[in-house]
Amino acid sequence: MKRFASIIAVVLLAASGAAIAQPAEQYIALPSYRVGPYAAGGSGFYGGIIDYFNLVNLSGGVNGVKISWEECETEYNPSRGVECYERLKTKNGGATLVEPLSTGVAYGILDRLAVDKIPMTMIGYGRSDAANGKVFPYVFPLITSYWNQAAAMIKYLGDKEGGMAKLKGKKIVHLYHDSAFGKEPLPVLEALSKQYGFELIKIPVTPPGSEQQSQWLQIRQAKPDHVILWGWGSMNAVAIKTAQRNGFPREKILGVWWAGSEEDTVPTGDAAKGYSAMTFNTPGNYPVMDEIRKKLYDAGKGNMADSTRIGSVYHMRGVSAAILWVEAMRTAQEKFGKGKRITGEQMRWGLENLNVDEARQKSIGAFGMLPVVKTSCDDHEGSGAVKVQQWDGKKWNAITPNWIVGDKALTRKLLEESSAAYAAEKKITPACIK
């Protein structure tokens, strides 16, 4: 009984007592996942974030304000993610930014953000309509959303055929993870299929998707011109291997960006050669990566255990996320006072007035690594541009020299409709926060 009581005491102490203010540091909450089914992605992404934070701190922080952070293991489970968010948000004087890298966790905490005044980024996932800052003031699907990615995919396939008009009569299979994530692009794909006259065949894969024989049989019978692989986790490698077994050319498969990392292709061996996928990073090496190698990993301060993963797709995405956050801090500090710790509300302003142009990217040492990101109240996404990369059997190579942007007028229209419906349901009056 006594032991039980002391355990309870430890929990309560740990939960409530840690809120000692440390005003000199900018605190970021990272509900991350490094175990469980999606650990490969999580460890790379959060590793990249922490590597960049360490790099910034080594050079004295953002105008002298060091970045501090705390991780909490979610295992990609929404229920645990909410617990982590609640635990992290009040620590160290209050979190000023949160990034769960999980649709489920993000949806679970979405409503709490405006109350807690903590901005959340959803880099490359989540509600596409959250780009409307009037309805979702604290949510930032930065760089690009699923809808713009879907539009860009069709644009790329049209260009590959030799013009959008050539898409008429073509067959495109949307092979998707049967969850919120897989269904997210459907409105865009359906609208584009009507507009350009291609046939859209929707084939769902029940998560986790470790058996896809029947789906690929269906694909073989349909003889499509292209297959969009909207997969996640172990589903991707299975899809690539099953395609090979069924003799379906991998050159005709175009993966979503969560189906385009080393973790998806390396386990399939030769099968993935020629397979291409979307990305919002240009694969390659950059000065900032060299700095991370030199200053952190050579000094034994790197976050990831395996230093060969530096510059891998997930790691680079983490670095890109951290770059944008640090730029948002800088932007906010310029308005609210340099060298001071900014609050969650001020961080929100920084994210909403972000302008990471080519000159800024050059000075960071990440020129071309990510598209130009310029946000506003109307556009919390800030770019919408993507590239296509191809696996040559050893590494990813960008096969589109320029950033592709799909039909933004269409995605904007859908976004306005969807966010208006959300605002009506939640009784939100859309407005920009000054």
Partner 1 sequence: MLYREAGQFKTSYQADGQIFPIMQDRIALLALLAVAIVFVPLLASPYVLSAILIPFLIFSLAAIGLNILTGYAGQLSLGTAAFMAVGAFASYNFILRIPGLPVLVAFILGGLSAALVGIAFGLPSLRIRGFYLAAATLATQFFVVWCLTKIPYLTNYSTSGVITAQPIVILGYNFDTPDRKYLLVLAVVAVMALLAKNMIRSNVGRSWMAVRDMDVAAEVIGFRLMRTKLLAFAVSSFYCGVAGALYAYAYLGTVEPEAYNLDLSFRILFMIIIGGVGSVLGSFLGAAFIVLLPVLLNVVAHSLALPTSVASNLELMVFGALIIFFLIVEPHGLARLWQIGKEKLRLWPFPH
Which amino acid is residue 414, in one-letter code? Answer: L
Secondary structure in 3-state letters for the chain: CHHHHHHHHHHHHHHHCCCCCCCCEEEEEEEECCCCCCHHHHHHHHHHHHHHHHHHHHCCCECCEEEEEEEEECCCCHHHHHHHHHHHHCHHHCCCCECCCCHHHHHHHHHHHHHHCCCEECCCCCCHHHHCCCCCCCEECCCCCHHHHHHHHHHHHHHHHCCHHHHCCCEEEEEEECCHHHHCCHHHHHHHHHHHCCEEEEEEECCCCCCCHHHHHHHHHHCCCEEEEECCCHHHHHHHHHHHHCCCCHHHEEECHHHCCHHHHHHHHHHHCCCEEEECCCCCCCHHHHHHHHHHHCCCCCCCCCHHHCCCHHHHHHHHHHHHHHHHHHHHHHHHCCCCCCCHHHHHHHHHCCEECHHHHHHHCCCCCCCCEECCCCCCCCCCCEEEEEECCCCEEECCCCCECCCHHHHHHHHHHHHHHHHHHHCCCCCCCC
Residue 260 C-beta: closest distance to partner 1, Å: 21
| Closer by beta carbon to partner 1, 130 or else 385 | 130
Closest CA to 50 of 284, 279, 354, 315: 315
| Closer by beta carbon to partner 1, 10 or else 431 | 10
Tokens in use for 279? 């990305």
Distance of CA 10 to the CA centre of its chain: 36
| Closer by beta carbon to partner 1, 144 or else 418 | 418
Residue 334 C-beta: closest distance to partner 1, Å: 32
- State the residues that interact with partner 1 by CB under 8 A: 7, 10-12, 14-16, 32, 34-35, 43, 70-73, 75, 77-80, 82-83, 85-87, 89-90, 103-104, 107-108, 110-112, 127, 178-181, 183-184, 186-187, 204, 206-207, 305, 418, 422, 425-426
- Evaluated on CA atoms 112, 114, 119, 125, the torsion sign reads positive
| Closer by beta carbon to partner 1, 131 or else 354 | 131
Residue 107 C-beta: closest distance to partner 1, Å: 4
| Closer by beta carbon to partner 1, 80 or else 226 | 80
| Closer by beta carbon to partner 1, 75 or else 262 | 75
| Closer by beta carbon to partner 1, 105 or else 342 | 105
| Closer by beta carbon to partner 1, 78 or else 365 | 78
Residue 45 C-beta: closest distance to partner 1, Å: 13
Residue 185 C-beta: closest distance to partner 1, Å: 9
Residue 32 C-beta: closest distance to partner 1, Å: 7
Residue 181 C-beta: closest distance to partner 1, Å: 8
Tokens in use for 319? 């670095």
| Closer by beta carbon to partner 1, 116 or else 264 | 116
Residue 28 C-beta: closest distance to partner 1, Å: 14
Residue 211 C-beta: closest distance to partner 1, Å: 13
| Closer by beta carbon to partner 1, 116 or else 352 | 116
Cis geometry, peptide bond prior to residue 137 (ω within 30 degrees of 0): no
Residue 191 C-beta: closest distance to partner 1, Å: 12
